[in-house]
């Protein structure tokens, strides 16, 4: 990494929710690589955190927990200038048998969580102008079967992003979102590894993307770093799709595909 790259976010303090693993972990590491002081807010303590990354306990569904986490970050580091709302859950459920409890759980984590974190962080972000980056999904635009709660929650995140950009812009706070496609996380890998013909699944997943391969968690982290930096100072209210072009290519019948 170049010296310039390592100071892009110098003197910034970032909170990454759900940063113990997967995309969140990669985001935390890329922010730290860019010079930020990074706090991972998660229900569980991650092991082997990199240089410049610490952990604070956080339940994004609890306003009390959110406030305590943010207060502790400001107490320890003096400020909070970047918030990345990454914490989320996903499960499959047939719509007709969908329990209300699981619907409420999905929205509590995936949508109410970002609302609460942004709300309690705003007084600190207003001090010097800050950046909020929400992690949405391409399923906020298009849907997989049995993902009614997940898709609704991520579409809500995209809507929340635009609303916060409008309401917080007067304070110098920008709010954007990243909508990842298929990313090579442990969760997604488990779906692939459990399939009887794993190699064929990998091949077909790659074919879905015009770039010819699935994404890496660092691909999302790199977009987050840009959105959190001054390089995107005139960008707000946007949902940046990081999907290798998947949504840009309408599907054809298999007989016509290449």
Tokens for 165? 């950009």
Query: Which of these is catalytic: 55, 115, 150, 226?
Result: 150
239 vs 134: CA distance, rounded Å: 9
Closest Cα to residue 14, out of 62, 60, 68, 56? 56
Tokens for 16? 């990454």
Q: What phi, psi does 38 have (nearest 5°)?
A: -120, 130
Catalytic residue status for 191: no
The residues, ordered by sequence, that sit 6+ positions from 218 with a Cβ below 8 Å of its Cβ are: 26, 29, 30
38 vs 86: CA distance, rounded Å: 14
Known catalytic residues? 150
């Amino acid at each position: 990494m170049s010296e310039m790259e390592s100071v892009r976010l110098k003197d910034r303090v970032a909170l990454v929710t759900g940063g113990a693993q997967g995309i969140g972990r990669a985001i935390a590491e890329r922010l730290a690589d860019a010079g930020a002081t990074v706090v991972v807010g998660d229900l569980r303590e991650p092991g082997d955190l990199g240089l410049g990354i610490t952990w604070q306990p956080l339940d994004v569904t609890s306003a009390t927990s959110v406030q305590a986490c943010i207060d502790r970050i400001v107490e320890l580091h003096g400020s909070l200038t970047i918030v990345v709302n990454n914490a989320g859950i996903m499960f499959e459920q047939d719509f007709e048998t969908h329990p209300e409890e699981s619907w409420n759980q999905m929205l509590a984590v995936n949508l109410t969580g970002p609302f609460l974190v942004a709300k309690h962080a705003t007084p600190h972000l207003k001090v010097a102008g800050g950046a909020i980056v929400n992690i949405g999904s391409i399923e906020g635009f298009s849907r997989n079967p049995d993902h009614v709660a997940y898709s609704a929650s991520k579409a809500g995140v995209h809507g929340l992003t635009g609303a916060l950009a409008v309401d917080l812009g007067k304070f110098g706070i920008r709010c954007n979102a990243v909508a990842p496609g298929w990313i090579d996380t442990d969760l997604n890998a488990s779906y692939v590894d459990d399939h009887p013909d794993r190699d064929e699944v990998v091949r077909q997943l790659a074919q879905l993307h015009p770039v010819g391969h699935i994404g890496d968690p660092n691909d999302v982290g790199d977009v987050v770093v840009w959105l959190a930096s001054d390089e995107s100072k005139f960008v707000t209210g946007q949902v940046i799709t990081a999907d290798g072009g998947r949504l840009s290519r309408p599907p054809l019948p298999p007989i016509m595909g290449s």
